[in-house]
């Protein structure tokens, strides 16, 4: 999955035609009145296609009801367990309850939508999704990951087909290869058997490793005498001391990839992000939050893209980039995430990266990995983490700290306690992933008002590997401990960390309920399973709180935004093992249909 959440390589300025990825959208002045005045017509003038239908802003209500939904399962998440109908006006929820009461509010202009037995939920939220990087990965490289190629033979066969279809002089650029699930590391020799003339680049799904063939090494000017690059980038070597095709870390990947990757133009950037947002909406999301991979200089032009996107977008800046918040402070960040709200975009907090990945055994643990003397190590010692978190607190912002290992969580919680002392005045402080959180850490998070966000796809994709290769059964059964959090009364959320795992909130919900690993159909930590209600709360109301918008989003209540996800089946009544497969029928944002 990820060594440091997700590799920032595709954010590197040298890969772009111009310093600002979305310069084709022009510049905008950061004031709320200006953003509220933006119109679809102005965006069309900038050359952008309209996505998903509807305008960026719902029309003001004149006292009538615009739309009534009825005839299905309407699940508010907060308050009553269900409602017969829901009425919408001006992009907001007016009322929900008995169908007769809602229909009494209808006029000749009211659109009545018969759900025909489908299930309407509050819009589903992914609170940790790398929107821009996901878009670039999937636009510029071909996905050859586990979901596309379940066996090594399938992978090699499809790489051969892709290479044959690639014109001479161009690189074969691929991504999402999974060494844990697709037969172990690739090698230069293995890729040379596919082609010795066309450069082949295979990026691992962790984002921090890759493998290339001899033609790629030659094209990138990488010779046998190359040493370690500044920043820790290096190249693997076999027993004979020669380069074996493996490429490690950002500096080495950038040096290898750059000669084969076309320059990212504004047109490519806009098309890629548009396409990814459509895919995210189609998976059921009405909001995705991007932690740390939207650069501050992209904020202003990105707003014009977000204003007409098929879903809401939100972002937190990296610690190193948090000064980029300065022009926007007066407009609302953190718990009052109102900045750019009328263009469907908000800003929240500051992202820090505490350690690496358990899959590559770089997550920082208090005990060694299975059959190893290594426990991984944190990216920062306790003193450095305390200083960084104190700086975030001094800047008046909440902290989001990536921690996969329990030792990294210890360091993060020490820093959060020292800086915030349990206060949520600046917003919810989050532990991102929190994969190997211990019981005592769950209790401590509860005490400190710190909340975890779990990458539940760890369980469905890597549960068996955690059990058999990485941690052993006892520790693996406590991975992503949503059940323990629920018992302790600690709120939490579920996320995909895209592109590190596939889009789709219903997969997160289904896995949280069943704890099924799809690799061998085993159950990983049955006592960590949670109810359907609790899992849905984790991708609705709790996710809304973790991005600073609980008063606007996350539940079906009068006055909240009319953001809905409509499903073909009811997750409360289907076989729990089928929740992941429930089809998304439609998504609505601010009263406008965006998908379906």
What are the beta bridge partners of residue 16? 264
Would you state the pLDDT for residue 55?
Answer: 34
Determine contact, residues 417/369, Cβ cutoff 8 Å.
Answer: no
Percent helix, strand and coil across the chain, each to the nearest 5: 35, 20, 45
Q: Measured in Å, how far apart are the chain's first and last C-alpha atoms?
A: 30
CATH number for the domain spanning 195: value is: 3.10.310.70
The model's pLDDT over 220-261, given as tens digits with 9 standing for 90+, comes to: 999 999 999 987 789 999 999 999 999 998 899 999 999 999
Q: Residue 503 corresponds to which tokens in the numbers above?
A: 């889009």
Q: Which phi and psi (to 5°) does residue 76 adopt?
A: -70, -20
- Taking the complete model, does pTM exceed 0.75, yes or no? yes
Determine contact, residues 435/406, Cβ cutoff 8 Å.
Answer: no
**Is 224 contained in some domain?**
yes
The model's pLDDT over 292-320, given as tens digits with 9 standing for 90+, comes to: 989 998 888 888 888 889 999 999 999 99
Residues 6+ positions from 302 with CB-CB distance below 8 Å: 22, 25, 132, 294, 313, 345
Q: Residue 4 corresponds to which tokens in the numbers above?
A: 């440091």
Percentage of the chain exceeding pLDDT 90? 78
**Is 215 contained in some domain?**
yes
Q: Residue 505 corresponds to which tokens in the numbers above?
A: 């909130």
38 pLDDT more than 50: no
Q: Quick one: pLDDT band at residue 10, thresholds 50, 70, 90?
A: confident
**Is 252 contained in some domain?**
yes
Determine contact, residues 433/462, Cβ cutoff 8 Å.
Answer: no
Write out the residue range of the structural domain in which residue 225 sits.
Answer: 132-257
Q: Residue 335 corresponds to which tokens in the numbers above?
A: 């718990």
Would you state the pLDDT for residue 230?
Answer: 86
**Is 357 contained in some domain?**
no
Q: How many domains does the chain have?
A: 1
In this prediction, residues 188-217 reach a mean pLDDT of: 95
For residues 176 and 199, what is the distance between their CA atoms, to the nearest angstrom?
A: 18
Within 10 angstroms of residue 381's Cβ, the number of other Cβ atoms is: 10
Burial of 240 (0-12, 13-18, 19+ CB in 10 A): exposed
The model's pLDDT over 528-581, given as tens digits with 9 standing for 90+, comes to: 999 999 999 999 999 999 999 999 999 999 999 999 999 999 999 999 999 999
Would you state the pLDDT for residue 232?
Answer: 79
For residues 360 and 397, what is the distance between their CA atoms, to the nearest angstrom?
A: 31
Would you state the pLDDT for residue 63?
Answer: 62
Question: How, if at all, do strands 83-89 and 67-74 pair?
Answer: antiparallel
For residues 426 and 155, what is the distance between their CA atoms, to the nearest angstrom?
A: 47
Residues 6+ positions from 260 with CB-CB distance below 8 Å: 170, 171, 173, 199, 201, 216, 219, 220
Q: Residue 215 corresponds to which tokens in the numbers above?
A: 């033609």
Q: Residue 141 corresponds to which tokens in the numbers above?
A: 């490289």
| Distance from the Cα of residue 517 to its chain's centroid | 20
43 pLDDT more than 80: no
105, 130, 294, 317, 567 from 543: Cα distances, Å: 32, 16, 19, 18, 19
**Is 559 contained in some domain?**
no
The model's pLDDT over 101-123, given as tens digits with 9 standing for 90+, comes to: 999 999 999 999 999 999 999 99
Question: How, if at all, do strands 92-97 and 142-143 pair?
Answer: unpaired
Q: H-helix or E-strand containing 290? A: strand 285-291
For residues 164 and 388, what is the distance between their CA atoms, to the nearest angstrom?
A: 49
For residues 265 and 327, what is the distance between their CA atoms, to the nearest angstrom?
A: 26
**Is 216 contained in some domain?**
yes
Q: How many residues does the structure list for the chain?
A: 596
52 pLDDT more than 80: no
Would you state the pLDDT for residue 301?
Answer: 83
Would you state the pLDDT for residue 320?
Answer: 93
Within 10 angstroms of residue 151's Cβ, the number of other Cβ atoms is: 12
Residues 6+ positions from 380 with CB-CB distance below 8 Å: 354, 388, 411
4 pLDDT more than 80: no
Would you state the pLDDT for residue 329?
Answer: 83
Computed from CA positions of residues 518, 521, 527, 530, in that sequence, does the dihedral angle turn out positive or negative?
positive
The model's pLDDT over 336-366, given as tens digits with 9 standing for 90+, comes to: 766 565 678 999 999 999 998 898 888 999 9
Determine contact, residues 344/307, Cβ cutoff 8 Å.
Answer: yes
57, 131, 235, 357 from 306: Cα distances, Å: 12, 11, 39, 31
Residues 6+ positions from 178 with CB-CB distance below 8 Å: 145, 146, 204, 205
Would you state the pLDDT for residue 19?
Answer: 62
In this prediction, residues 496-500 reach a mean pLDDT of: 93
Determine contact, residues 317/325, Cβ cutoff 8 Å.
Answer: yes
**Is 153 contained in some domain?**
yes
For residues 329 and 591, what is the distance between their CA atoms, to the nearest angstrom?
A: 28
DSSP string, 426-474: T--EEEEE-TT--HHHHHHHHHHTEEEEE-THHHHHHHHHIIIIIS-HH
Computed from CA positions of residues 66, 71, 77, 78, in that sequence, does the dihedral angle turn out positive or negative?
positive
Would you state the pLDDT for residue 16?
Answer: 86
Q: Quick one: pLDDT band at residue 28, thresholds 50, 70, 90?
A: very low
Would you state the pLDDT for residue 23?
Answer: 60
For residues 485 and 479, what is the distance between their CA atoms, to the nearest angstrom?
A: 12
- Angle (nearest 5°) at CA 334 between 315 and 499: 25
51 pLDDT more than 60: no
**Is 111 contained in some domain?**
no
């Amino acid at each position: 999955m990820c060594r440091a959440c997700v590799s920032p390589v595709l954010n590197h300025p040298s890969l772009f035609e111009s310093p600002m990825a979305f310069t084709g959208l022009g510049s905008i002045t950061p004031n709320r009145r200006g953003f509220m005045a933006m119109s679809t017509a102005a965006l069309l003038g900038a050359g952008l296609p309209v996505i998903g239908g509807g305008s960026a802003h719902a029309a003001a209500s004149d006292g009538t009801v615009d739309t009534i939904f009825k005839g299905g399962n309407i699940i508010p998440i907060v308050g009553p367990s269900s409602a017969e109908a829901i009425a919408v006006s001006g992009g907001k929820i007016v009322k929900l309850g008995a169908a007769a009461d809602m229909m009494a509010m209808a006029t000749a202009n009211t659109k009545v939508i018969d759900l025909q037995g489908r299930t309407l939920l509050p819009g589903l939220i992914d609170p940790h999704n790398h929107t821009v990087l996901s878009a670039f990965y999937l636009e510029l490289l071909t996905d050859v990951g586990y979901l596309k190629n379940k066996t090594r033979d399938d992978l090699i066969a499809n790489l051969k087909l892709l290479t044959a279809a690639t014109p001479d002089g161009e690189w074969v650029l691929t991504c999402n290869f999974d060494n844990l699930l697709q037969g172990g590391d690739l090698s230069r020799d293995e890729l040379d058997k596919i082609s010795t003339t066309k450069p082949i680049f295979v990026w691992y799904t962790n984002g921090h490793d890759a493998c290339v063939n001899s033609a790629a090494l030659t094209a990138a000017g990488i010779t046998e005498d190359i040493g370690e690059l500044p920043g820790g980038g290096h190249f693997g070597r076999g027993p004979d001391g020669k380069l074996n095709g493996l490429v490690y870390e950002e500096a080495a990947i950038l040096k290898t990839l750059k000669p084969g990757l076309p320059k990212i133009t504004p047109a490519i950037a806009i098309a890629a992000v548009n396409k990814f947002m459509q895919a995210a909406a189609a998976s059921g999301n009405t909001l995705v939050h991007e932690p740390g991979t939207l650069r501050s200089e992209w904020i202003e032009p990105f707003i014009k893209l977000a204003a007409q996107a098929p879903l809401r977008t939100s972002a937190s800046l990296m610690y190193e980039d948090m000064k980029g918040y300065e022009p926007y402070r007066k407009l609302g960040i953190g718990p009052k995430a109102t900045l750019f709200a009328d263009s469907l975009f908000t800003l929240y907090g500051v992202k820090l990266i505490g350690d690496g990945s358990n899959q590559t055994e770089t997550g920082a643990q208090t005990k060694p990995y299975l059959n190893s003397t290594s426990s991984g190590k944190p990216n920062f010692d306790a003193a450095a983490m305390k200083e960084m978190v104190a700086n975030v607190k001094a800047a008046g912002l909440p902290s989001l700290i990536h921690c996969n290992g329990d030792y990294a969580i210890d360091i993060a919680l020490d820093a959060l306690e020292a800086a915030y002392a349990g206060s949520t005045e600046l917003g919810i402080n989050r532990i991102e992933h929190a994969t190997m959180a211990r019981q005592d850490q769950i209790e401590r998070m509860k005490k400190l008002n710190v909340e975890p966000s779990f990458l539940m796809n760890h369980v469905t994709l890597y549960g068996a590997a955690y059990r058999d290769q990485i941690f052993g059964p006892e520790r693996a059964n406590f991975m992503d401990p949503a059940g323990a959090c629920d018992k302790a009364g600690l709120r939490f959320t579920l996320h995909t960390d895209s592109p590190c795992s596939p889009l789709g909130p219903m997969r997160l919900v289904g896995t949280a309920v069943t704890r099924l690993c799809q690799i061998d159909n085993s159950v990983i930590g049955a006592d960590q399973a949670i109810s359907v209600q609790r899992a849905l709360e984790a991708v609705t109301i709790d996710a809304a709180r973790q991005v600073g918008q609980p008063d606007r989003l996350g539940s079906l209540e009068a006055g909240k935004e009319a953001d809905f996800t409509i499903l073909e089946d009811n997750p409360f009544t289907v076989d729990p093992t089928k929740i992941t497969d429930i089809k998304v029928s439609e998504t609505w944002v601010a009263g406008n249909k965006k998908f379906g």
